[in-house]
Structure 1
Amino acid sequence: MFRGFYTVASGMLAQQRKTEMLSNNMANANTPGFKADQSSMRAFPEMLLQRLDSAEVPTERKLNIPFNSEIGALNTGVYMQEATPNFLQGDLKETGNGTDVALTNLSMPVDEVSGALGSIFFTIEGLDGTPRYTRNGNFTVDGSGFLTTANGQYVLDNSDERIQLPSDQFTINEDGQVLVNDRNVATLGIGFAGNPNTLVKQGDGLFVSENNNPLPSAYNIEGVSFRTSQGFLERSNVDAARTMTDMMTAYRAFEANQKVLQAYDRSMEKAANEIGRVNG
């Protein structure tokens, strides 16, 4: 009976975490460059139940020979193993704002080990000075002429240096070059992740690589081709209709587990108050 409590509780926790993940996806449906999370549900390892029994041998000494009688397998519940971002390319939205830039994956190699499709990211200087990566190209120019993200973090060039512009009148061509008066003043830092699933979300649309190692430049990777579009932003790749459907499914699963838990609770109450009653 108690195993049932634990199994049902694990199902409720898993669905609660999935609902929280889906709610976060829905809340960022309009966040530029946001990559929706996907849940991975796993069952706890199965246990093989056996009953310890004995058989009496008809001898003078009445020997008992112990043996195990197999009952069957028991699965003890489910859990949400992890939430992994979906790095599918989002649609482009024209904004007309000169500081907005969007990345478009044209040709990306497939990682031989994981089978994942590679992806590219803008390179950002993190608050601790280490590189961060994002698909959100909603940039701005601060008072000192530096190209920054909306929350004030510096956009880096291809040499991992801050991009300082002599004027707010600049253009960015399809190759990522930043031009002022037709003169190349910088090249946007674009990092390439062969297996983007190894990146870790840091919040604010930022990712960090394993062990904080910088990603290689996408300009130097064979088979990688992309385009930068000034005046555009990449939309979130959240599918609002699918997310709402998944949320309703998670709610229904949570309610089903809740009803089973209530049934177990009623059974335990009856066992304690009625079956276990000692008649005087």
Structure 2
Amino acid sequence: MDRVLYTAMSGAKQTMDQQAVVSNNLANASTTGFRAQMSAMRAVPVEGEGMPTRVSVAASTPVADMSSGPMNATGRALDVAIQDDGWLAVQSDDGGEAYTRRGDLQVDADGLLTSGGRPVIGENGPIVIPLGADVSIGEDGTISALEEGQPPDAIANVGRLKLVDPEDQSLERGDDGLFRPLPDDEGNINALPQNEDVRIATGTLEGSNVSPIETMVAMIDSARRYDMQMKGIETADENAQRANNLLSISG
């Protein structure tokens, strides 16, 4: 196969993958605490039989933009914005621990405190709130509840949000949109410890760090690059056909 086809074909495939990343970012431009996904590509030689001039394109390890999103005051008692580099611990679908910046907390029909539909983890597991209680959350994540009909001095501590700071550890996004530490040398993913220094702002939500304008520009750029690569494939095919015609005439 002509090396032009290798370059254009692999480039077109990776451009389609990048377009999917950009589309997902744009779809989450208004999602609370969302971290934009960043994609990068690199040239790699083609392994196996073939000429050494054949070069393919491969995606580098996907990373997320960890910069903070805008802080928006809501005044809602269950809205929290994690400060600086902190993360909120939640229970993933497989029962493990994962981390998010999404702070629009809800209480479900069973009194379970959730973030994005997933149980929020406290110091002793998932946090349960008395139904109908007036809830307040301190800047250190301490949750207090005053049950309906009780006097003001009957306020009780019902738990504390598990707030972590990965510090030097890198987090990677899973297919479920939640973040987890990288596996250790044995392939295990260990839960992060509670960090006493992480603070939250109540009555505030952190918005997505996706810039809709920049993302739209990136989407247009990806579409143009895909068109260029497809034209390269068409040109290489036309050149091959002309070469075959010349060979058939000379024969």
Normalising by structure 2, report the TM-score.
0.84
* Among candidates 182, 191, 195, match of residue 214 of structure 1: 191
1:246 to 218, 221, 226: 218
Q: 2:36, 2:241 → 1: CA distance?
A: 44
Q: Match for 1:162 among 100, 113, 126?
A: 126
Distance 1:252 1:195, change over 3 A: farther
- What is the CA distance between 1:191 and its match in structure 2? 2.0
Query: 2 CA distance for matches of 1:180 and 1:214?
Result: 28
Q: Which amino acid aligns with 1:164?
A: V
Tell me if structure 2 keeps the 8 A contact 1:175–1:228. yes
Structure 2, gaps ≥5 residues long: 147-154
Q: Distance in 2 between matches of 1:79 and 1:192?
A: 32
1:194 alignment partner, SS class: coil
Residue number in structure 2 paired with 1:188: 161
Indicate yes or no: 2:156 matched with 1:179.
no
Percent of matched pairs sharing the same residue: 30
CA contact (8 A) 1:43 1:75 kept: no
2:106 paired residue number: 140
Do the aligned partners of 2:78 and 2:137 also contact (CA within 8 Å) in 1?
Answer: no
**Matched residue, 1:64:** none
Conservation of the 8 A alpha-carbon contact between 2:43 and 2:58: yes
Asked if the contact 2:21/2:37 (under 8 Å) is kept, the reply is yes
Letter paired with 2:174: K
Divergent runs of 4+, >6 A: none
Structure 1 Cα separation of the partners of residues 216 and 206 of structure 2: 22
Asked if 2 retains the 8 angstrom alpha-carbon contact of 1:41 and 1:81, the reply is yes
Cα drift, residue 275 of structure 1? 2.7
Q: Match for 1:129: what amino acid?
A: G
Identify which of 47, 61, 66 aligns with 1:82: 61
**Structure with greater Cα Rg:** 1
**In the TM superposition, what whole-angstrom CA distance separates every residue of 1:249-274 from its partner, at most 9, and x where no partner exists?**
22221111111111101011112233
Q: Which has the higher strand share?
A: 1
CA distance in 2, matches of 1:191, 1:175: 11
TM normalised by structure 1 equals 0.76
Q: CA contact under 8 A between 2:80 and 2:203: conserved in structure 1?
A: yes
Which of residues 170, 175, 181 is equivalent to 1:202? 175
1:66 paired residue number: none
2:37 matched to 1:29?
no
Q: Structure 1: any 5+ residue segments left out of the alignment? A: 52-72, 106-118, 220-224
Matched residue, 2:152: none
1:235 corresponds to 2:176? no
Partner in structure 2 of residue 258 of structure 1: 230
Q: 1:38 to 1:196 in 2, by over 3 A?
A: farther
Question: How many positions carry a matched residue from both structures?
Answer: 234
Amino acid at match of 1:266: E
Does structure 2 conserve the Cα–Cα contact (< 8 Å) formed by 1:36 and 1:85? yes
1:98 to partner: Cα distance: 2.1
Query: How far apart are residue 235 of structure 1 and its match?
Result: 0.4
Answer yes or no: is the 8 Å Cα contact 1:156–1:188 preserved in 2: yes
Could you tell me whether the CA contact under 8 Å between 1:85 and 1:197 is conserved in 2? no
Q: Which amino acid aligns with 1:234?
A: E
- C-alpha spacing 1:40/1:197, structure 2 compared with 1 (3 Å): farther
Counterpart residue identity of residue 95, structure 1: T
Are the equivalent residues in 1 in contact too, given 2:44–2:55 (CA < 8 A)?
Answer: yes
**C-alpha distance in 2 between matches for 1:82 and 1:27:** 22
Alpha-carbon distance in 2 for matches of 1:226, 1:261: 53
Query: Deviation per CA, 1:14-33, whole angstroms, max 9, x where unpaired?
Result: 11111110010000000101
Instruction: For 2:90, give the aligned amino acid.
Output: I
